[in-house]
């Protein structure tokens, strides 16, 4: 998979992709992430990429011309399956959407900043708008990092155990069950005996029961989605 990211603050996206699973994904050649500085397409000596909004009001808006120049240059290299704008008023990111995007080949992410991007970009280029939650951040860089991580870990060969992602929270509209590792006893706190029994059908049954109980207690709304399917 290839992911391009357009941003006015490329330095914010350096660390997330240079460590841990995302670094391994790139080292294996399973994921390529390229970050593009929008200011390279800006106007004048100061590489301007934002201006005051028409009609007045506080806050600057990312200009249409630099964004179009950047997008069209990238489109000359590859065809994008989705051009995604990270915005608080976009579609809420969930595991189902992440699963769908992990099947794509080329994605382009646009990170908003200031008051956002000129609406004409959304009307003529953006194919999908995504929000990572009902709150506002300073820009789209952190949401872009979240989205890339969520997608990247699903790519075949990225995780050490191919089945690991299948049992994450939300994959089946249930939260993940409790997990334990050695030692089996610490300060009198015991690991459930069933997990050390070697009876794998019973272990899976226990895990499903625990997942259902945890979801009931913490996210009953997920069970409603399960009932609606």
Does residue 157 form part of some domain?
Answer: no
Digit-coded pLDDT (tens) for 91-141: 999 999 999 999 999 999 999 998 999 999 999 999 999 999 999 999 999
Q: What's residue 24's pLDDT? A: 94
Give the domain extent around 213. Answer: 169-228
| Same domain membership, residue 23 and residue 110 | yes
Q: What's residue 172's pLDDT? A: 77
| Same domain membership, residue 6 and residue 79 | yes
| Same domain membership, residue 202 and residue 110 | no
Q: Are 75 and 110 in contact, with CB atoms under 8 Å apart?
A: no
> Residue 155's pLDDT band (boundaries 50, 70, 90)?
very high
Q: How many domains does the chain have?
A: 2
Q: For position 197, which CATH number holds?
A: 1.10.1270.20
């Amino acid at each position: 998979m290839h992911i391009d990211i357009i941003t006015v603050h490329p330095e914010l996206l350096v660390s997330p992709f240079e460590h841990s699973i995302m670094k391994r994904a790139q080292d294996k050649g399973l994921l390529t992430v390229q970050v593009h500085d929008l200011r390279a397409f800006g106007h004048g000596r100061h590489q301007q990429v934002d201006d005051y909004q028409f009609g007045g009001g506080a806050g600057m808006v990312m200009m249409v011309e630099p964004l179009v120049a950047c997008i069209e240059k990238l489109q000359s290299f590859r065809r994008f399956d989705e051009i995604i704008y990270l915005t608080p008023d976009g579609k809420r990111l969930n595991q189902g959407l992440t699963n769908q995007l992990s099947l794509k080949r080329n994605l382009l992410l646009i990170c908003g900043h200031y008051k956002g991007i000129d609406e004409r970009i959304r009307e003529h280029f953006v194919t999908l708008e995504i929000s990572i939650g009902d709150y506002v951040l300073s820009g789209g860089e952190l949401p872009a990092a979240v989205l890339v991580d969520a997608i990247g870990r699903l790519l075949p060969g990225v995780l050490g155990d191919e089945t690991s992602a299948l049992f994450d929270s939300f994959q089946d509209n249930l939260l993940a069950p409790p997990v334990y590792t050695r030692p089996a006893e610490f300060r009198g706190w015991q690991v459930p005996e069933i997990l050390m029994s070697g009876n794998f059908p019973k272990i899976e049954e226990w895990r499903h029961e625990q997942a259902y109980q945890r979801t009931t207690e913490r996210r009953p709304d997920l069970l409603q989605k399960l009932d609606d399917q």
